[in-house]
Amino acid sequence: MKFLDQVKIFVKSGDGGPGCVSFRREKYIEFGGPDGGDGGRGGDVVLEAVPNLNTLIDFRYRQHFKAERGLHGMGANRTGRGGQRLVIHVPVGTQVLADDKETLLADLATAGQTVVLCRGGDGGFGNAHYKTSTNQAPRKAGPGWPGEEHWVWLRLKLIADVGLVGLPNAGKSTLLATVTRARPRIAAYPFTTLHPNLGVAQVDDQEMILADIPGLIEGAHEGAGLGTRFLGHVERCGVLLHLVDGAQSGAFEDPGVDVAEAYRVVRAELAEYGGGLADKPEVVVLTKADALSDDLIAERRAALEAACGQPVAVVSSASGQGLTPVLRQVLPLVRARRTAETRVEERTEDGGPAGEAAAGWTP
Which residues fall in the annotated binding site for GTP? 166-173, 191-195, 212-215, 287-290, 316-318
What is the DSSP code string of 142-162? -------EEEEEEEE----SE
Q: Are 42 and 52 in contact (CB under 8 A)?
A: no
Rounded Cα gap, residues 58 and 75, in angstroms:
43
| Binding-site annotation: residue ranges | 166-173, 191-195, 212-215, 287-290, 316-318
* Residue 69 C-beta-side C-alpha neighbours within 13 Å: 16
| Binding-site annotation: residue ranges for Mg(2+) | 173, 193
Q: Positive or negative CA dihedral for 180, 183, 185, 187? A: positive
Q: Are 110 and 69 in contact (CB under 8 A)?
A: no
Q: Are 289 and 321 in contact (CB under 8 A)?
A: yes
Rounded Cα gap, residues 3 and 214, in angstroms:
13
H-helix or E-strand spanning residue 129: none
